[in-house]
């Protein structure tokens, strides 16, 4: 056979002929190997001859009974399997990267976090991951956890004092609840801190059951018998508006009240020996190590500085 000198290192064979060579090794038949790779037998024969010329090696012993690999062909077929396996891994990695770049990220966030923190987080995230489609659903903390558990959310952000052991969680920050009233409310004229008992005995404008704000307040006052709420509303903004209208006192995150306290439209009431700090958490189910776009968003949130109030 008229063979060329050994190939240069950049004279790459194509993957299809390597598949063909592996097929011949497995089936001891050029025709069967050609059918396996979807190639006409005459074309397959030409491709093998071309590979022999390019490698400078005899790869096939051809006879009336069929074709089988030469000893050199058997060695090349072994390395062809390795190359094809690596190529398959390359394609799998590319597919995973494509899926990550074009994936949807389903997020759930409790009301306070969604209103005051998530927009900045998502703005920074989108700058680095513009191909990820983001869906944000605003709910109370209990609903966020339920949807994380059901698989509807890839990750959630909650403000509850505790989270169930059925989800993984990690702190992303901390905020503080504060008692606020209209400046004309009697508590605004107190010259001493309000007692916890006085707060517990007063009907308040509150968030709905299941919200992180409501749960934090209920846990802090669990030792006291309390009256029915003055008003129960579905968002921090609605509670704040009620207080601004003079409906009654409320307990809200400093994230939701700081501006209005600064302007004097709300008055912050000091309460004696009442710690209403709380941890904001990311929650998810599945592997303990959250990866992909959801993991990157959580890491971004953890690096972000929360306003200090």
CA dist 239 and 83 (Å) reads: 65
pLDDT for position 120: 92
Give the model's pLDDT for residue 224: 95
Q: Give the pLDDT confidence of 243-252 residue by residue, as tens digits.
A: 999 999 999 9
**Nearest 5 degrees, angle CA 248-CA 115-CA 294?**
145
Place of tokens 């022999």: 52
Query: What is the pLDDT at residue 306?
Result: 65
Q: What is the pLDDT along the chain (309 residues), one digit of tens a residue?
A: 555 555 555 567 788 888 988 888 888 888 888 888 888 888 888 988 988 888 888 988 877 777 788 989 889 888 888 888 888 888 877 766 655 544 689 999 999 999 999 999 999 999 888 888 899 999 999 999 999 999 999 999 999 888 999 999 999 998 999 999 999 999 999 999 999 999 999 999 999 999 999 999 999 999 999 999 999 998 999 999 999 999 999 999 999 999 999 999 999 999 999 989 999 999 999 888 898 899 999 999 999 876 555
Chain mean position to CA 111: 19
Domain ranges of the chain: 15-100, 104-303
The CATH number of 15-100, from 1.10.10.10, 1.20.140.10, 1.20.970.10, 1.25.10.10, is 1.10.10.10
CA 31 to chain centre: 49
Mind listing the pLDDT tens digit for each residue in 219-234? Answer: 999 999 999 999 999 8
Which tens digits make up the pLDDT trace of 143-180? 999 999 999 999 999 998 889 999 999 999 989 999 99
Task: Specify the CATH class of 104-303 in words.
Answer: alpha beta
Dist. CA 118–CA 234, nearest whole Å: 19
User: At which residue do the structure tokens 């397959």 appear?
Assistant: 44
The predicted structure's pLDDT at residue 99: 55
Three-state secondary structure call for residue 153? coil
The pLDDT value recorded for residue 30 is 86
């Amino acid at each position: 056979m008229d063979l060329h000198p050994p190939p240069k290192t950049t004279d790459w064979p194509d993957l299809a002929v390597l598949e063909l060579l592996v097929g011949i090794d497995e089936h001891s038949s050029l025709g069967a190997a050609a059918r396996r790779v979807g190639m006409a037998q005459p074309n397959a024969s030409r491709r093998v001859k071309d590979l022999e010329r390019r490698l400078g090696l005899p790869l096939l012993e051809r006879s009336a009974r069929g074709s089988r690999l030469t000893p050199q062909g058997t060695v090349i077929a072994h390395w062809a399997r390795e190359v094809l396996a690596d190529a398959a891994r390359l394609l799998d990695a590319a597919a995973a990267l494509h899926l990550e770049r074009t994936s949807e990220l389903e997020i759930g966030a409790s009301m306070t976090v969604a209103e005051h923190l998530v927009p900045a987080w998502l703005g920074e995230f989108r700058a680095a991951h513009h191909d990820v489609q983001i869906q944000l659903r605003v709910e109370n903390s209990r609903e966020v956890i339920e949807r994380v558990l059901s698989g509807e959310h890839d990750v959630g952000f909650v403000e509850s004092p505790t989270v169930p052991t059925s989800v993984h969680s990690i702190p992303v920050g901390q905020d503080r609840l504060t008692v606020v009233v209209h400046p004309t409310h009697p508590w605004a004229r107190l010259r001493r801190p309000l007692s916890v008992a006085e707060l517990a005995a007063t009907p308040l404008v509150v968030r709905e059951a299941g919200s992180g704000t409501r749960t934090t307040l209920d846990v802090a006052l669990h030792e006291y018998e309390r009256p029915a709420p003055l008003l129960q509303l579905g968002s921090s903004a609605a509670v704040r508006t009620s207080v601004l209208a003079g409906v009654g006192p409320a307990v809200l995150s400093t994230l939701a009240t700081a501006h209005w306290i600064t302007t004097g439209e709300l008055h912050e009431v000091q309460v004696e020996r009442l710690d209403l700090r709380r941890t904001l958490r990311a929650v998810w189910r599945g592997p303990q190590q959250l990866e992909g776009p959801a993991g990157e968003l959580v890491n971004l949130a953890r690096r972000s500085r929360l306003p200090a109030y």
